[in-house]
Structure formats: C-alpha cells, structure tokens
C-alpha cells in the first residue's frame, strides 16, 4: 500500500534521472542529435537547439524519469553481477527475446502519442546516433535498457516537436528565428 510518509519529492526524482543518464555517458545533446535527424526532413528552420529544448521537456515528465531510474538501475546491477539468475544472464547478455527493455521504453513514450511509438520502433531498428554505440558496446558495460530508453526519449521529443510545430503553423507562425518551441 502507498505510504504517504515515504513520498519522494519530484525534484529528487528528476535530479536522479538526469544524473543516471550522465553517469552512463549520455548527454542531452546526444539525444537531441537523434531528434534532429528524425525531424529535420519535415521542418525547415529546425535547429539543434529546438531539439535540445524538446529533450529537456521530455525529461521533465515523471513517467520518463521513472523508466530511466528503473532501466539504468538494472543495467548497473547487471554490470556488478548483483542480480539473481537467470535474470542476471538475460540482462547481461542482452538476450534478444527478453523484451522488457523495449516494453519499458514503449510505456514511457505513450504520453506522446502515435508519432512517438512509430519513431521509437524506427530507432529500435535503425539504431541511430548514440543508440548504435550503446547497442554494440559488448564487453564494455551493460546497456540493455539504456539504448531503448535513449530511443524512447528521442522518439518522445520528436513527436512533441512535430505537434508543437503544427500548432505554430496553424497560428500563422513559424519556428524560424525562435529559440524555444
Ligand atoms: Mg535493449
């Protein structure tokens, strides 16, 4: 049962999620580059800064923070060989039929709708940008969850941008010359 006395403040959770990403060597810019790659064909005037802002907004979502904390913790515990068997081996080997890493990632993109879901699927196949590095780091740490989490943040930030840009267009405005959208 939920214990009110053990409530964790949102600031602590948000900070821990960002620190976890940083500790695992993933920067906001790394994720923004994937977002740019996904969205620039559709949006004239899109800048990397627009993508950074969108990633920041996605990282403010509790659902995303929680997914990051759970997934990164499991990767780290697997690296330290602290999980019980057979889970240890499933995560450490990045067993292709495991699927819980993808399920967690998909769960966290649902807030951002169908564009986020389809973009996540695309990134999962193509392994764009830093996702490729994380996915192929065999023997240098466990990133079973991290590659999917990075894909999910990039997919959510892409979907957010697509919707925001349409809103601007319909208001007779444009992203050109705007810092934040
Ligand atoms: Mg994975």
Average confidence (pLDDT) per 10 residues, the chain, 181 residues: 85 97 97 97 92 97 97 98 98 95 96 96 95 80 97 98 93 86 79
Distance 177 CA to ligand 1 centre (A): 37
- Taken in order 81, 124, 105, 16, the sign of the CA dihedral is positive
Distance 173 CA to ligand 1 centre (A): 39
Residue 181 included in any domain: no
Distance 81 CA to ligand 1 centre (A): 18
Q: Domain containing 133 — which CATH number?
A: 1.10.3760.10
Distance 101 CA to ligand 1 centre (A): 5
Distance 154 CA to ligand 1 centre (A): 15
Residue 160 included in any domain: yes
CB within 8 A of 46, min separation 6: which ones? 36, 39, 40, 161, 165, 175
Q: Compute the radius of gyration of the chain from its Cα atoms.
A: 17
Distance 46 CA to ligand 1 centre (A): 29
At residue 121, the pLDDT reads 97
At residue 78, the pLDDT reads 97
Task: Report pTM.
Answer: 0.94
Residue 175 included in any domain: no
Distance 145 CA to ligand 1 centre (A): 5
CB within 8 A of 62, min separation 6: which ones? 10, 13
As a whole number of angstroms, the distance between CA 56 and CA 136 comes to: 26
Surface-to-core class of residue 18, CB atoms within 10 Å of its CB (0-12 exposed, 13-18 middle, 19+ buried): middle
Residue 84 included in any domain: yes
Distance 171 CA to ligand 1 centre (A): 40
For Cα atoms 151, 139, 15, give the angle at the middle one, nearest 5 degrees.
45
Distance 61 CA to ligand 1 centre (A): 21
Query: How many domains does the structure of the chain reveal?
Result: 1
- Taken in order 61, 67, 73, 79, the sign of the CA dihedral is negative
- Per-state percent for the chain, helix, strand, coil, to nearest 5: 70, 0, 30
Structural domain that includes position 71: 11-170
Residue 93 included in any domain: yes
Residue 180 included in any domain: no
């Amino acid at each position: 049962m939920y214990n009110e006395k053990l409530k964790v403040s949102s600031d602590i959770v948000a900070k821990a999620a960002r620190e976890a990403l940083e500790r695992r060597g993933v920067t906001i810019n790394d994720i923004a580059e994937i977002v740019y790659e996904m969205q620039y064909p559709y949006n004239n005037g899109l800048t990397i800064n627009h993508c950074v802002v969108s990633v920041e907004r996605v990282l403010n979502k509790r659902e995303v923070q929680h997914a990051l904390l759970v997934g990164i913790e499991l990767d780290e515990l697997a690296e330290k060989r602290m999980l019980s068997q057979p889970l240890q081996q499933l995560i450490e080997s990045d067993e292709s039929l495991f699927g819980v890493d993808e399920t967690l990632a998909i769960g966290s993109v649902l807030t951002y709708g169908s564009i986020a879901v389809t973009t996540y699927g695309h990134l999962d196949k193509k392994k764009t940008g830093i996702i490729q590095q994380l996915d192929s780091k065999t023997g240098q740490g466990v990133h079973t969850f991290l590659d999917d989490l990075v894909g999910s943040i990039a997919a959510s930030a892409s979907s957010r941008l697509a919707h925001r840009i349409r809103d601007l267009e319909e208001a007779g405005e444009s992203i050109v010359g705007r810092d934040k959208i």
